[in-house]
Structure formats: C-alpha cells, structure tokens
Amino acid sequence: MSFDVEQIRADFPILHQQVYHKPLVYLDNAATTQKPLAVIDALRDYYTTINSNIHRGVHYLSQQATLAFEETRQLVSEYVHARHGYEIIFTKGATESINLVASSFGREFVKPGDEIVISAMEHHANILPWQLMCAEKGATLRIIPFHVNGELIQEAYRDLLNDKTRLVAITHVSNALGTINPVREMIALAHEHGIPVLVDGAQAVPHLPVDVTEMDCDFYCFSAHKMYGPMGVGVLYGREEWLNKLPPYQSGGEMIRTVTFEKSTFGELPFKFEAGTPNVADILGFRETLLYLDRLGIDQIASHEESLMRYTLDQLRTIPEVRLVGDSPHRAGVISFLIGDVHPYDAGAVLDKLGFAVRTGHHCAQPIMDIYGIPGTIRISLGLYNTRDEVDSFTRAVKRVIEMFR
C-alpha cells in the first residue's frame, strides 16, 4: 500500500477541526497520538457485542473476548518480534511496566551497595521507580552523561559498568531530545558483564521498526496511547528466563494457580504478572491499532517521519533565532528548541492561539533541562499523519512569535 498522507488523515476525525478559528495542527505526538476510526469503532463494538470478563467464563461472550484478548497478545508479540506470546505482559502504560520491573527485580536481586545504571536523558518514568527502589534497598543510581548534542557518552557508560551493577535501564528514543540511542551496542556491552537491560521504548515503537529479539534486550516497555492506540494500555516485554525469575508485582485474581490461607502458588506466564481484571476493551482497541499500523507498514511510517523530520529541521535552521536543544545525527521526529530569549511557555501560548498543539516545559525530563541550564523547551513531535504543509505553516508561526516578542 502506498503511503498517502491525505488518505491516512481521513482516518483521524479529530484532526479535521478548528481551534480558535484556526485549523488544528497537532504536533504533540510524543505526549499522545490521535486514534484512527478503526480503533474508536472497536471500543464501541466491544461494548455492544462481546463485553464480558475474560479467562474464567465458560459462556460464549467470555470465550469470544478471551480469544480476541489473547490474539492481541500474539499480535503485540509479532509486532516487536518477541520469541513467545507469553513474554508480553499487559499493563496500563510504560510507567507501570517500568514500575513492575523495578519493584519485582529490586525485591529479588538488589541488595545494599548494588548499583543501577540509567542515563541522564531518561523520562521521569525511567528515573523515579529506580530511585525509590535504590533508596529502599540501599543501592545507588549511577547516571550515564550525554554530550551537548544529545548523544550518550559511551566511554562513560563503559566505565560505569562493574560487578556491583545489577541492571541498566535506558531509553530507546529520548522524549525531550529526540536522540535514538545505540541500544543494541549498549545491551551487548552490559551482557558482556552479565547485566540485564531494560529499554524504555515509549518513543520508539510508534516510529521505528523494533525487534526485541535482535536487540537482545531483557525488558522492553511501551504505551499503546503513544502509538495510535487507546489510553490505559501498556506493554512489558520480558525475556522468558527473566520473567520466570521475577516474583509477582501485584497479586489477586487471575494470576494464581492455587490459593489457601497458608500458601498460594502463582500462574504461568504471562498471567503471573496480570492480577485482576485487565482493561479488555482498550486492549481490543489496541488490536485494531496493530492491524492498522501493519496495513500502513512501520517501514513506510518510519521513512515518512524521517523525511518530514529532516525537512522540519531544515526549515527551523533557516531561522537564526531558533536554537535546537539536542541535535544528534541519530534522531527521531521529536524536536526541542528555544526561540531567542522568549520563554517557552510564552511561545507555547502564542502557538496555541494560532492552532498549533505543541508541548512546552521540561517534558517530564527535568534533569535534562538542568544540564542545559534552561527552564524548558518548545517541543514538536511528528506523527504519521503530519504533512509538509503543516511544517511550513508552523515555520511561519515561529516567525510570528519572533515578531511579537521583538
């Protein structure tokens, strides 16, 4: 199928509206993406046809819902190239996936004096769970620094790994700088020391082909809502050996084999990590997302976004007042910048009134802003439905901001 952006935009009703009497230009895809009609319809279909609780019902509706639920797990596993469907755990988002690993891994494998390595460009979701776990366990968080252009300093990473390191947790794509990290090489290095690696893929899965088997990561986390799927659904991929070694995160119904007041035993993977009734409706909506992305083709999506990102950078670079924050040669369509000395909030407020949905602030990555010594940035993040026309009108809007604050 050819990648026809105008045709694709027709699948996203929310894009065709005006805000403040201006056509909406949605450039906040790193925060959340819009949903195609197929996904929205799937939610209604679920509630009007097969709504029921899954796994334990013998009746028709429950069987249908269970089948579709497990089929979604299989689709996710194929999407990221996991070896087995049961290596896919449903959560409510990337944040919960990371908390799951930090909590279960910490309980079983971390002791006083140990170290966890993360990078200086992590989203708070990949900082705080480790920070809290380290505080509880008497362990230390060690930080990989980055160069001013937003690339991780690989020599510093190499120096940080030692026999006290229990786990490395790094982002695949930075949500504030756009950097695509060389995760494959970084994982290989950690594995040379026998250290497992968690990759935060929240900003990668919607935009790049991801193959967890080839990457050889031990854990990989992402959120459906950032990849054109419903809110409230997340994924943890875990290598079978690790998932088997970790204790349950939450407990309750669905995840047990036997329960007595003296002792309980837990279910097989993946159920051991899925306590309670899951978000069946949204997970089935997510199934439509995966089918939709499959129809478009992730390679085509990636190449559309790559060329739009290069075009956007070229346009922004023609404006002398624009200062890019993060300019790694290996990057995705997340572009952070400042306009002269205009405060990012002031710029964001003007852009909003002109119809542009952009993000301003620290993007849940405060340490990055501290490193650059800035209060925040203006961030645009591209999605599969963005166009060159939108980028052109955005560039004109940036020039208007400059005029207004001159």
Instruction: List residues near ligand PLP by CB under 6 A.
Output: 30, 93-95, 123, 125-126, 171, 175, 200, 202-203, 223, 364
Task: Tell me whether residue 87 or residue 96 sits nearer to ligand PLP (CB atom).
Answer: 96
Q: How far apart are CB 306 and ligand PLP at their closest, in Å?
A: 19
Question: What DSSP character marks residue 46?
Answer: I
Query: Coil, strand, or helix at residue 260?
Result: coil
Q: Which residues pair with 237 in a beta bridge?
A: 88, 220
Location of structure tokens 């996904």: 39
- The sign of the CA dihedral 327, 387, 207, 285 is positive
Task: Tell me whether residue 180 or residue 401 sits nearer to ligand PLP (CB atom).
Answer: 180
Q: How many residues does the chain have?
A: 406
- Cα-based distances in Å from 301 to 8, 227, 292, 333: 11, 11, 12, 12
CA gap 54, 277 in Å, rounded: 8
Query: Which residues touch 223 (CB under 8 Å, ≥6 apart)?
Result: 93, 94, 95, 202, 233, 234, 235
Q: How far apart are CB 177 and ligand PLP at their closest, in Å?
A: 11
Q: How far apart are CB 365 and ligand PLP at their closest, in Å?
A: 8
Residue pair 119/89 in contact by the 8 Å Cβ criterion: no
Single-letter amino acid, residue 140: T
Q: How far apart are CB 175 and ligand PLP at their closest, in Å?
A: 3
Q: How far apart are CB 29 and ligand PLP at their closest, in Å?
A: 10
CA gap 225, 95 in Å, rounded: 12
Question: What DSSP character marks residue 222?
Answer: E
Single-letter amino acid, residue 77: S
Task: Tell me whether residue 50 or residue 186 sits nearer to ligand PLP (CB atom).
Answer: 186
Task: Tell me whether residue 34 or residue 126 sits nearer to ligand PLP (CB atom).
Answer: 126
Q: How far apart are CB 194 and ligand PLP at their closest, in Å?
A: 26
Task: Tell me whether residue 100 or residue 401 sits nearer to ligand PLP (CB atom).
Answer: 100
Question: What DSSP character marks residue 47?
Answer: I
- Tell me which residues are annotated as active site: 364
Q: How far apart are CB 31 and ligand PLP at their closest, in Å?
A: 6
- The sign of the CA dihedral 301, 304, 307, 311 is negative
Q: Which two tokens stand for residue 79?
A: 């999407």
Q: Which two tokens stand for residue 317?
A: 């670079």
Each residue of 276-309: b (16+ CB within 10 Å) or e? eebbbbbbbbbbbbbebbeebebeebbebbbebb
Compute how many other C-beta atoms are within 10 angstroms of the C-beta atom of residue 132.
14
Query: Which residues touch 28 (CB under 8 Å, ≥6 apart)?
Result: 357, 358, 359, 379, 380, 381
Task: Tell me whether residue 23 or residue 209 sits nearer to ligand PLP (CB atom).
Answer: 209
Task: Tell me whether residue 180 or residue 364 sits nearer to ligand PLP (CB atom).
Answer: 364
Beta strands in 296-399 (DSSP E): 322-324, 334-339, 356-357, 359-361, 377-381
Location of structure tokens 């990078």: 119
Q: How far apart are CB 223 and ligand PLP at their closest, in Å?
A: 3
Task: Tell me whether residue 210 or residue 350 sits nearer to ligand PLP (CB atom).
Answer: 210
